[in-house]
Amino acid sequence: MEIKSLLVPQSRSRRGFDEAVMNTGSSTSKDDLSANHPPFPDMIWIRGGEFLMGSNKHYPEEAPVHRVRVDGFWMDAFTVTNRNFQRFVEETGYTTLAEKTADPGNYPGALPEMLAPSSTVFIKPSGPVDMRNHYNWWVYVKGANWRHPRGPASSIRKLMDHPVVHVAWEDVEAYAAWAGKQLPTEAEWEFAARGGLEGAEFVWGDELRPNGRHMANIWQGEFPYRNTKEDGFEYTAPVGSFPPNGYGLYDMAGNVWQWTADWYQEHGRIDSPCCTAVNPRGAAREDSFDQREQGAKIPRKVTKGGSHLCAPNYCRRYRPAARMAQPIDTSISHLGFRCVVRKRPDQLAT
């Protein structure tokens, strides 16, 4: 999978890998010496190790902090772009969930217009609104999909290096299978996002804007009606527009939320959080339902990273510990993904 080399010089990714080796605090291994031969372009070898997952300082679903160990894996340096996804669609003829009419049997009692090919789009209100009702800014838009991210009149023609959005769980699974990759677990994603910084608030450290520098594409101003765009962007940004973390990974905070492979559960339901969990894989599918929801029960996956809509006054989730539950049948204008490969460098030839 190729991302335009003009966008981010390869030397920056290599420097990120070198920093990753130093951040582990141990000697260089055979895997590290082989890590300059990734299975696909623009992938970074994440050596793996132990870390403190979650946070006790912010939202309740992030707690308690618990120790986790993950094996090494390769991770895409960038989220999947419109250019990447277009190549997949052109080669396979794939149609995303948002481009299909929903099966009324799966949604008893749904209004016919809600079954039309549609997706969820952020629409900025003209002024202050009731922050308790997210439908004041989220709108189900007929004709919105990955080709038309802000509605049927919009286009990705000038957004080819932006992250693809409006992709549901089945869409990202299909892409990953075609690419010969997988989706990361929540633990893999969070370990990689931290970039070797144990317990840091953000993927780059503990200060939101070190020396006044914007480190991620997030909301400035008063969400949801006034975005001052101090970071240069109102919606998504081209991948790699902000500095990488210590492992050479870009956009592990902000820009778009990212799917993970794990079924959602509260961290508080984890068995024996006092002990080190090894390569945890989340909840059982049937435990991921939102019991508060009426009607059809839709299983949910964990998403990570926050997006360009996260703001200091609302959804302060541009942090590695932050997490959200996403129904697998739902696509939305601020959710994308990146992939992993779990073979070690010395296994790639086998």
Q: What is the CA radius of gyration of the chain?
A: 20
* 33 touches 331 (CB < 8 A): no
Half-sphere exposure of 293 (CA within 13 A, CB side): 12
pLDDT values of the chain reduced to their tens digit, one per residue, 350 residues? 333 322 333 333 333 434 443 344 444 555 564 577 899 999 999 999 999 999 999 999 999 999 999 999 999 999 999 999 999 999 999 999 999 999 988 888 888 888 999 999 999 999 999 999 999 999 999 999 999 999 999 999 999 999 999 999 999 999 999 999 999 999 999 999 999 999 999 999 999 999 999 999 999 999 999 999 999 999 999 999 999 999 999 999 999 999 999 999 987 777 666 678 999 998 888 889 887 877 678 999 999 999 999 999 999 999 999 999 999 999 999 999 999 999 876 676 54
Task: Give residue 272's pLDDT.
Answer: 60
C-alpha to C-alpha distance for 30 and 184, rounded to whole angstroms: 23
Both tokens of 173, joined, read 């699974």
Task: Give residue 23's pLDDT.
Answer: 41
Quickly count helices (H) and strands (E) in the chain. Answer: 5, 14
Is the peptide bond prior to 64 cis by the omega test (within 30 degrees of 0)? yes
Task: Give residue 22's pLDDT.
Answer: 38
C-alpha to C-alpha distance for 114 and 104, rounded to whole angstroms: 10
* Length of the chain in terms of residues written: 350
Task: Give residue 31's pLDDT.
Answer: 57
Task: Give residue 273's pLDDT.
Answer: 62
On the 0-12 / 13-18 / 19+ scale of CB atoms within 10 A, 264 is buried
The neighbouring-strand residues paired with 49 are 70
* 141 touches 305 (CB < 8 A): no
Q: Whole-model pTM?
A: 0.89
DSSP string for residues in 196-249: T-TT-SBTTBS-SSGGG---S----EETTTEE--TTS-SS---TT-S---TTS-
The neighbouring-strand residues paired with 263 are 282, 283
Task: Give residue 116's pLDDT.
Answer: 94
C-alpha to C-alpha distance for 31 and 250, rounded to whole angstroms: 22
CA distances 135 to 28, 58, 74, Å, are 51, 24, 38
Number of Cβ atoms within 10 Å of the Cβ of 61: 18
Both tokens of 328, joined, read 């697998």
Name all domains of the chain by residue range, CATH numbers in brackets: 10-347 (3.90.1580.10)
